[in-house]
Amino acid sequence: MKIEQPLSCPKCKGTYFTLKREASYLYTYKINTPDIVQWSKEDDALSFLFDYREQLGDKEYLECEACKSKFPCDVRLADEHVDFTILQRAIRGEYAINADFLG
C-alpha cells in the first residue's frame, strides 16, 4: 500500500501507522445432510465445510504504532494507492464532533 504524503498522530506526533480491519462472521452448518455420515468417519476437523457464512460486522481503523491510538476510517482499496485526504481526515475526525470524511 502506498500513501503519497506522510501522516502524523495528533496524540504523540508518531508517523508510523498500521491499517487494521476486524470482521465477525456467523457460520451455519446443516447437520442432517447426506455428507454428514462421510464427514463423521474422517479424523480431521472440517471447519471450512460450512453451508452459509454471513458477515455480522466489520470495522477498519488506523493504529499509531508508537502510542497505539486508534482512528476509525473506511478505506476501500481500488488499487494499491490510498487517498491521503481520507486517512488525514480519519485522524483529525477523532477530535471533531462532526467528522467530515467525504470532502
Distance separating alpha carbons of residues 85 and 74, to the nearest angstrom: 12
Give 100's pLDDT tier (boundaries 50, 70, 90): very low
Does pLDDT of 21 surpass 80?
Answer: yes
pTM above 0.85, yes or no: no
Report domain extents, the chain. Answer: 2-93
- Condensed to tens digits (0 to 9), the pLDDT of residues 74-91 reads 766 555 555 555 566 666
Q: Using CA atoms, how far apart are residues 38 and 16, in angstroms rounded to an integer?
A: 50
Q: Decide which of 68 and 91 is more confident.
A: 68
Q: Which tens digits make up the pLDDT trace of 40-49?
A: 676 665 556 7
Cα–Cα distance for residue pair 75/62, rounded to 1 Å: 10
pLDDT at 25 > cutoff 60: yes
Alpha carbons 54 and 61: distance in angstroms, whole number: 22
Q: What is the pLDDT of residue 72?
A: 86
Give mean pLDDT, residues 19-38: 81
Q: Is the pLDDT of residue 24 over 90?
A: yes
What does pLDDT average to over the chain? Answer: 73
